[in-house]
Amino acid sequence: MQLSVYLAGEIHTDWRENIIAACEGLAIEWYGPVTDHAASDDCGVEIFGAEDSKFWHDRKGASLNAVRTRTAIARSDVVVVCFGEKYKQWNAAFDAGYAAALGKPLIVLQLPEHDHALKEIDAAANAVARTPSEVARALKYVVAGKL
On the question of pLDDT at 87 being above 90, the answer is no
What pTM was estimated for this model as a whole?
Answer: 0.95
Residue in 29, 136, 119, 118 with CA at minimum distance from that of residue 72 = 29
Residue range 16-59, pLDDT digits in tens: 999 999 999 999 999 999 999 999 999 999 999 999 999 999 99
Residue in 145, 139, 147 with CA at minimum distance from that of residue 19 = 139
Phi, psi angles (nearest 5°) of residue 83: -105, 110
CA distance 37 to 12: 9
Mean pLDDT of 57-66: 97
Residue in 127, 71, 123 with CA at minimum distance from that of residue 102 = 71
Four-residue CA torsion sign, 18, 130, 140, 101: negative
What was the pLDDT predicted at 128? Answer: 98
What was the pLDDT predicted at 114? Answer: 93
On the question of pLDDT at 127 being above 80, the answer is yes
What was the pLDDT predicted at 21? Answer: 98
Phi, psi angles (nearest 5°) of residue 68: -65, -50
What was the pLDDT predicted at 86? Answer: 77
What was the pLDDT predicted at 54? Answer: 98
Our CA angle for 106, 101, 86, nearest 5°, is 55
**Contact indicator for 5, 139 with CB cutoff of 8 Å:** yes
For 118, residues 6+ apart whose C-beta sits below 8 A from its C-beta are 83, 93, 108, 110
**Fold adopted by 3-33+76-144:** Rossmann fold (3.40.50)
